[in-house]
Amino acid sequence: MGLSRRLATCAVLVSLLGPAAPPARATSWNATQIEESGAWVSAVLEFSGALGFRAATSALGAPAVHLAIDFTPDNACGGYGFILQSQTGVVQPESRAFGPHRGAIRVDGLPTRPALVIAQTQAGDDTYYLSFTLAHPHSEGPGLLTELMHGRSVRVRTMLGQSEIHFRFSLAGAGPALRRAYALCTEYVALGQRPERERGQPPSGPGTAPAPPP
């Protein structure tokens, strides 16, 4: 890979692996154990002393828009966040939260999953953070994570301000990235919530933990 390609890849990874919520100005974050998988990347995030485990990608045709699936040690990694980040290039003058708005998530030609969306901004930051919560998380059929791991693309739709926005994301590499993020999370819990880098050992990989729940 040439120097220009490596620099472009690094820039994309920095954007994908930023905080999942508006950061306070005094807060720092760090990404480790980064691994690319097709159009996706997985990593461990440390944010204000807390850890998160992320799989993320950029929107097709809109590289400033990112989709992040975050697992946390809460409830033994049983829940996850579905976060859309949109870098607008316009620094926000104030911090605010608005919504909920109606949203929708659809993998390939499968049934559309309605969602509620909360948007947040942070003063001095140019990114909108949109958090999706499924309106019917326990509906019949395979779960959203299963659809993401086996699908070809996912489309996301919601409101941002007064405008409807919709983006499409490739799912090439999503399966390995999601499994790895979930495995890193469950491994962290199994080790007594001590980061691997503090133990001086590399992660043993997704094969040592169960796949994400359906």
Of the candidates 60, 65, 15, 71, the one whose C-alpha atom is nearest the C-alpha of residue 38 is: 60
10-residue averages of pLDDT along the chain (214 residues): 35 49 51 92 85 92 91 86 88 88 95 93 87 80 88 92 88 96 93 50 31 42
Domains in the chain, start-ordered, CATH in brackets? Answer: 3-19+29-198 (2.60.40.1880)
Q: Are 81 and 20 in contact (CB under 8 A)?
A: yes
- pLDDT given for residue 139 in this prediction: 67
Of the candidates 29, 88, 75, the one whose C-alpha atom is nearest the C-alpha of residue 54 is: 29
pLDDT tens per residue across span 109-147:
999 999 999 999 888 888 889 999 998 776 656 689 999
Q: For the stretch 164-200, what's the b/e string if a residue is b when 16 or more beta carbons lie within 10 angstroms of its beta carbon?
A: ebebebbbebbbbbbbbbbbbbbbbeeeeeeebeeee
% pLDDT > 70, the chain:
73
Q: Structure pTM?
A: 0.77
